[in-house]
Structures are given as C-alpha cells and as structure tokens.
Amino acid sequence: MAVTETGSAAWSGPRPGGGSTISVVVAIAIVVADMVGVGVFTSLGFQVKDIPSGFSILLLWTVGGVVALCGVFSYSELGAMFPRSSGEYNFLGRAFHPAFGFVAGWVSATVGFAAPVALAAMAFGEYGKSVFPDAPPMALAVGVVWLVSLVQLTGVRHSSTFQLVATILKVALIVAFLVAGFVIATPQPVSFAPSASDFSHIVSAPFAISLVFVMYSFSGWNAATYIIGEVHEPERNVPRAMLAGTLIVLVLYVALNAVFLHSAPIDKLAGQLAVASVSGCYIFGEFGGRIVGAMICFGLISSISAMMWIGPRVMMTMGEDIPVLRLFARRSTGGAPAYAILFQLTVASLMLFTRSFEAVLEFIQFALLFCSFFTVLGVIKLRITHPDLPRPYRAWGYPVTPLVFLLVTGFMMYYLVTGQPLRVFLGVLIMLSGLLIYAVFHKRAGQDPVAASAGRE
C-alpha cells in the first residue's frame, strides 16, 4: 500500500478482502435492489393531498432522481480515488480523519443496515399474506432474513447469481404492472402536461417537504461503494453501476407514479398508505390488491439480499483496520465475510423480535444524512486542498452537482432538526458513542488504529 500526501491510504495492489469478483451487471442489480423498497409504493397518497397535479408529482420524483444523481457523481469520484469497500467509512476517513470514518462505519455496521433489513423483512411478512394467507407475518419476516443470509454465507458467486435473478424478477414484475396499468386501466382525468397552477405547487412548502420523503425512497444509490473491493475494475465499473442503477430507478419511479395517477382517482389515492394496492384494484379488479402485494413481496427479497450483502462489508473493512474487530474480516472459502454477515443477521433478528427497528430507523436518519453530506463535501475539500491527487473519475458537473446535493441534504437535515429534535439528539448520541469507542481503540493501540493498519499494509 502507498500513502498519499494527505496521509490517506491509496490502494496500489490487491485490495483487502480481495479480489475482483463482481461484474458491473451484478453491481447495477445491487444498486437497483437496494433503492427500490416499499417507499415508492406508499408515498403518493400523502403527496397528492397537497399537490393535486400530475405534472408536479412527476416533477417531484424527477427532481429527487436528479439530486440522487448529483450524489452519484461525487461518490464516484471518491470511489475511483479510494477503491475500497465500506462506503462512508472509507471516504470520510480519507477525506477528513479516520475518526470521522469510524463514526460513519459504526453507525452503518451496527444499525444502519440491520434496521432497514428488519423493516423490509416485516413489510415482506405483511405483504406475504397475499401469497401465503395462513403464514404468520413474523415467521415470514424472520424466515426471509435467514434464507437470504444463508445464501450470502455460501459465497460471492452464489450471492451474485441470486441477487441478479431476484433483481431481474423484481424489475420484470414492476414493468408488467406498468404495462397493465397503461393498457388495461380506465384512464383518469389527470393531465401530466404543465399548467399555470403548477408553479405555485412547485414553489410551495408541501413540495419541499415531499422532496424529503422522495429522497428517502431514492436512498441506496450509493450501494456499490460498499462493495468496491469486490467489483471488477472498480475505477470504471462502480461509477457505471451507480449511474445506470440510479437512472433505471428514476425511470421506474416516475413511471410507477404516473400509473398510479392514471389508473386511480386522485381523491381515492389521497391520504392512503397502500396507494399501489388502490391502483391495483382499479387495474385488476377485486384481486388487484393481492396481485400488488405479491409483486412487492417478491421485490423485497432482492432488497433484503442487497442490504445483507453490502452491510457486512462495512464491518469487514473495519475488521481489517482494527485489531479488536479482526474476527469480522475473516472470509469463507467462497469469499463471504461470514462473521460480519452473522453479526448483521443477529442484530436484524433481535430488532424484528423486539420491534425496535422502527424506533432505530427514526433516529439514525439524521446520522446517515450527516455522513452523506460530509462525504460529498469531502470531494470539494480534496479538490481544493489536494488538486494533484489521481482522480480516475472526476465528478460530472463539478462544482454545481455537489452543491445541489449539499443544498438538498442540508435542507433535509434542517427539516429533521426543527421537526424532530429528540430523534436528531438520539442520532447524535449514536455518533458520539462511535467517537467514544474510537477513542478507546486509539488509546489501546497507542496510535490511530486505522492509520496503523494502513502502515502495516
């Protein structure tokens, strides 16, 4: 390993945990699977209450996708500069300080992925009643997490095949739903062309607040950065995977919302959580809700698989740097970080049984946004302080695209601070606990534990 003038490790040989085993197609599948959960199937009902305009709604989702793309460009630059798995743990440690990276890694490795896995699993259990009417939702939720984890434990090769097939099935089901919606459903009197009244909707507070929840639906666009060390030619393929995956999801999200508005009356959608089921009933009739439930249920399998893949890679990379966590860096003969996967499985299972994941998700949102904000800010910092560092990929549209992402993410953090101060405070406590643990590791090692590991490489 070489060390740059910033004190950051620049990987010049085989990356820890090694090997380039994931194709760009699988990386794209992971991005798509991680992004498309239940958010897009439940958000519209609350948006049309205050924004009863087809054009404004589709513009809202388009803006969300564009902001996500702005994040993709910045993360791609850092990923090409520092091609090592673990996302913000790697990027913040290189751009700012290893302590900052550890805090991000601590949040991600402990609850940042386990809580969304538990939420997706519980949603799978609820929607699973459409496929298995007599099965208890909790049994389905626990079963799908354990089943996906077993696949992950078999190794990268089998995980790649499973992820690709599950994601293709998810996209195929969504496309089939879209075709049916436009072909079978009775068109509703909604216009997707701009009108004079749309300007007032676009500059309104409900539009800005709705954008916050749209951005949550787009979260996951950075999934490929957590597995950089396993991607073939990461300097080229990780930016491609994030760009292609985000564009695919952007098209799917806009099309889905168009179908919901095209197939069901706005007054029937307003205030409804299960807008996809409402739309499904208008498209398919009496069994529409079940058909949509089955579609979402199957789609959640790929989402859970993606999170059970990328989440443990954070703990794995931390284990490569910190001696006390070395156990989690161990890989099976198939290349899977077995102990890290089992750790995330344990945490997710405990959250399912205690129903604590709902509370955890509420107060880690600020921490996750905080880390994403400073990761993109790190691109600007390194451009200014170290313009000569090698950049195999340079962020498209710099500095406009990073600033757009920072502006929107800053607004989201402001919204959380003013609207949910207690939850933000608890999120800050989680980050501070990570900083405290880092200080303990630092004291035991007698030096920076991450930098010490880098020096040994």
Q: How confident is the model at residue 356 (pLDDT cuts 50, 70, 90)?
A: confident
| 113 within a domain of the structure (yes/no) | yes
Residue 293 located in a structural domain? yes
Q: How many CA atoms lie within 13 A of 262 on its CB side?
A: 18
Average pLDDT taken over every residue of the chain: 90
Does 457 map to a domain? no
Tokens of 395: 């962020």
If one counts every other C-beta atom within 10 angstroms of the C-beta of residue 421, the result is 11
CATH number (domain holding residue 272): 1.20.1740.10
Report the range of poorest mean pLDDT among 5-9, 103-107, 220-224. 5-9
Instruction: Report the share of the chain in percent with pLDDT over 90.
Output: 78
72 belongs to a structural domain: yes
Q: Say what the pLDDT of residue 363 is.
A: 85
Alpha carbons 225 and 101: distance in angstroms, whole number: 14
As given in the structure block, the two tokens for residue 173 are 């089901």
Q: Is the pLDDT of residue 14 over 60?
A: no
Q: Is residue 453 part of a domain?
A: no
The verdict on residue 374 lying in a domain is yes
Tokens of 124: 């799978």
CA gyration radius for the chain? 22
Place of tokens 């930098």: 451
**How many domains in the chain?**
1
Please check whether residue 279 lies inside any domain of the structure: yes
Residue 443: pLDDT band (50, 70, 90) is confident
Closest CA to 73 of 330, 246, 232, 257: 246
Residue 444 pLDDT > 80: no
> Among 35-44, 93-102, 354-363, which stretch is predicted with the lowest mean pLDDT?
354-363
Residue 97 is assigned to a structural domain of this protein: yes
Q: What's residue 25's pLDDT?
A: 96
pLDDT(453) > 90: no
Distance CA 359, CA 352 (A): 12
| Predicted pLDDT of residue 2 | 34
pLDDT tier, 3 (very low <50, low <70, confident <90, very high otherwise): very low
The string of pLDDT tens digits covering residues 137-157 is 999 999 999 999 999 999 999
Residue 297 structural domain: 19-448
Query: What are the DSSP calls for 51-118, one per residue?
Result: ---HHHHHHHHHHHHHHHHHHHHHHHHHHHHS--SSTHHHHHHHHT-HHHHHHHHHHIIIIITHHHHH
Lowest mean pLDDT among 180-189, 269-278, 446-455: 446-455
- CA gap 375, 362 in Å, rounded: 21
pLDDT confidence bin for 130, thresholds 50/70/90: confident
